[in-house]
Structure 1
Amino acid sequence: MFRGSLVALVTPMKADTSLDWDALDKLVEWHLEQGTHGIVAMGTTGESATLDREEHLAVIRRVIDVVNKRVPVIAGTGANSTREALDLTASAKDAGADAALLVTPYYNKPSQEGLFLHHQYIAERVALPQLLYNVPGRTAVDMGPEVVERLSMLEHIVGIKEATGDLQRLADIKARVSDDFCLLSGDDETGLAFMEAGGHGVISVTTNVAPRLMSQICELALGNDFSAAQALDARLQSVHKNLFLESNPIPVKWAVSQLGFGANALRLPLTGFEQGLQPQLRAAMQENGLI
């Protein structure tokens, strides 16, 4: 089972938007030193939508090599084409990933049955643990608890990243799946409440800039010390909020660059973090001793 604070890792770039491999190596090592429990490479926060297939897989391989089995590495392999998602998932398995994270097919708005068949198709063909990823605010499709229940019964589908921020949704899913089905939050602001309600951890944007605090919060929550976890999480709420002043990963890419990991560079159509908003995020980071 995947548990605790798993970082939705940014992909460092140079000013010309080429991949910054040295910064990536240093960033991964920093997360391991800071106590991050797992690394998600090439998710939304990693700018998977603007990297080509070769770059996408190269980043996954590089993270796997640097981590060297010290924590689990989960590869983002979702796509709005089932064939493309299958190819990426099989390639991630070949690279040595511990699991794949597959976002629901975006833009083309499949039916609930289409979502089931999409994930079933991949699960039946790639013998790698697979995590579903439901984030309707970005994909324009919402995977319902009934589909999650059906998919949870398939071999290789081991959990879900549920990013609606709706704790009732967690309760609905939890009532339908087995106890060993992994339940991960994809919403930092409600991540602790998600764990208090029976979740196992968070795939987190905030962990990019506050890895030690996020790992401590998750460890406390998983140890049922919720009062101590709440005290730390209350401090971080300003960071959670300000990391979404613009679309993810625009603010967090800027924040990570302030920590010295790569330039504040994103590929079009993403643009740099608005200068007028930067002081708010900087202040939140300073309040928490992050810079």
Structure 2
Amino acid sequence: MDRNSVDWRGYMPAITTTFTRDGDYDARGHAELLEWLYAEGMHGIVALGTTGEWFSLQPTEKAAVFQNIAATLKGKIPLIAGCTGYTASEVGANMAAAAEAGFDGVLITPPPYICLSDAEILEFYREAAKQTKLPICIYNWPPGTNIDLSLPLIEKLIEIDNVVALKHSTSRLDHFSKVFFAIRDRVRVFGFNMDELGLTLLAHQGGDGTMGAGAVLGRDHPNFYNEIWNGNLEAARECGARDRVILTEWYTEHLTARFGSPQAILKEAFNVMGLPGGYPRRPILPLQDSEREIVRATLEKLGKI
């Protein structure tokens, strides 16, 4: 497999997982949110990534989430399953559940917390890849793993047979650019910001897309790409400028939240807009009143409420 084995491109949000106040999975509410995302023109869906709170779900719950998502959107847009775990066997079980549900690919970070060596990370991915026939997207997520995958290691990882993409969520622009130009002909690269640099790379250098958090602005996110593909760069800039408002007001330059937790922020945003955002699951807490006001003020500024 390589980049040509999949049709993944554009804006593929890493979606939230809808929980009730008591922490139960709200399948009906989640399906409603998924239908809204599809109607807003998303180019794909990434489930149970960091935004999806994979870390607080049991294996049977993950399988139920995958089944619900597939029942709602299978065959309509590409579905990518977050399958991160602490061991290759745990990842394998997650990938099996995703395959059974009918997902089109999987997303895997290095094991969080452990801070493995390069040799250990490479072997981890090799062991995991042997357990699935699905295409794999490597996820470089320094805020969650405390490891920013180096170019030499990434070069080795993309040689694994079913690796077709990299979600490169580094905050170092020089590192992002260096990796992009080194591997873009072999695997798809995601992680572009909706700014002038991202627009330039996407419009003129063959960039693939963004696996971004939440899609709370609806069609503004996929339209950034649609306008680029149609040659309407000024219209793309307008979409990107709206996206940068939430990036500036809700997140730091290191892709972490300025207040509360990213998952709680996105869920509050959906709730405020009248969509089923639901509640975060502990240990993540809902936003405080003052934090909710920040979310509301941003959405009012952007005309979403």
Q: Tell me how far apart the structure 1 counterparts of residues 289 and 201 of structure 2 sit (CA, whole Å).
A: 33
Per-residue deviation, 1:200 = 0.9
Question: 1:48 is matched with which residue?
Answer: 54
Partner of 2:46, secondary structure, is strand
Partner of 1:249, secondary structure, is helix
Aligned partner letter, 1:71: I
Does 2:263 align with 1:249?
yes
Q: 114-123 vs 278-287, which deviates more?
A: 278-287
Matches within 5 A, 1:195-210: 195=202, 198-207=206-215, 209-210=216-217
Cα RMSD for the two superposed structures: 2.1
Residue 31 and residue 248 in structure 1: after superposition, are their counterparts in 2 closer, same or farther (change >3 A)? same
Q: Tell me how far apart the structure 2 counterparts of residues 241 and 206 of structure 1 sit (CA, whole Å).
A: 15
Q: Tell me how far apart the structure 1 counterparts of residues 87 and 200 of structure 2 sit (CA, whole Å).
A: 34
Question: 2:283 is matched with which residue?
Answer: 269
Residue 62 and residue 3 in structure 1: after superposition, are their counterparts in 2 closer, same or farther (change >3 A)? same
Question: 1:109 is matched with which residue?
Answer: 115
Q: Tell me how far apart the structure 2 counterparts of residues 56 and 290 of structure 1 sit (CA, whole Å).
A: 31
Q: Contact 1:163 / 1:187 at 8 angstroms: preserved in 2? A: no
The alignment-based identity, stated in percent, is 26
> Structure 2: where are the runs of 5+ without partners?
1-6, 251-256
Question: 1:160 is matched with which residue?
Answer: 166
Aligned partner letter, 2:64: A
Q: Tell me how far apart the structure 1 counterparts of residues 178 and 83 of structure 2 sit (CA, whole Å).
A: 26
Q: Deviations over 1:18-73 (max 9, x none)?
A: 11111111111111111011011111111111111111111011101100310000
Aligned partner letter, 2:149: M
Residue 264 and residue 226 in structure 1: after superposition, are their counterparts in 2 closer, same or farther (change >3 A)? same
Question: 2:297 is matched with which residue?
Answer: 283
Partner of 1:238, secondary structure, is helix
Q: Tell me how far apart the structure 2 counterparts of residues 60 and 218 of structure 1 sit (CA, whole Å).
A: 26
Q: Contact 1:188 / 1:204 at 8 angstroms: preserved in 2? A: no
Q: Contact 1:191 / 1:202 at 8 angstroms: preserved in 2? A: no
Q: Tell me how far apart the structure 2 counterparts of residues 191 and 252 of structure 1 sit (CA, whole Å).
A: 23
Does 2:196 align with 1:183?
no
Q: Tell me how far apart the structure 2 counterparts of residues 140 and 192 of structure 1 sit (CA, whole Å).
A: 28
Matches within 5 A, 1:17-166: 17-166=23-172
Q: Tell me how far apart the structure 1 counterparts of residues 200 and 291 of structure 2 sit (CA, whole Å).
A: 28
Q: Deviations over 1:163-222 (max 9, x none)?
A: 113332222223332514111117677865663564311111151x11200010022234
Aligned partner letter, 2:134: L
Equivalent residue pairs, number: 290
TM-score normalised by structure 1 residue count: 0.92
Residue 134 and residue 288 in structure 1: after superposition, are their counterparts in 2 closer, same or farther (change >3 A)? same
Q: Tell me how far apart the structure 2 counterparts of residues 85 and 150 of structure 1 sit (CA, whole Å).
A: 20
Residue 15 and residue 125 in structure 1: after superposition, are their counterparts in 2 closer, same or farther (change >3 A)? closer
Q: Tell me how far apart the structure 2 counterparts of residues 42 and 193 of structure 1 sit (CA, whole Å).
A: 30
Q: Tell me how far apart the structure 2 counterparts of residues 88 and 75 of structure 1 sit (CA, whole Å).
A: 9
Q: 65-74 vs 140-149, which deviates more?
A: 140-149
> Structure 1: where are the runs of 5+ without partners?
none
Aligned partner letter, 1:98: D
Does 2:235 align with 1:228?
yes
Per-residue deviation, 1:223 = 4.4
TM-score normalised by structure 2 residue count: 0.88
Per-residue deviation, 1:110 = 0.3
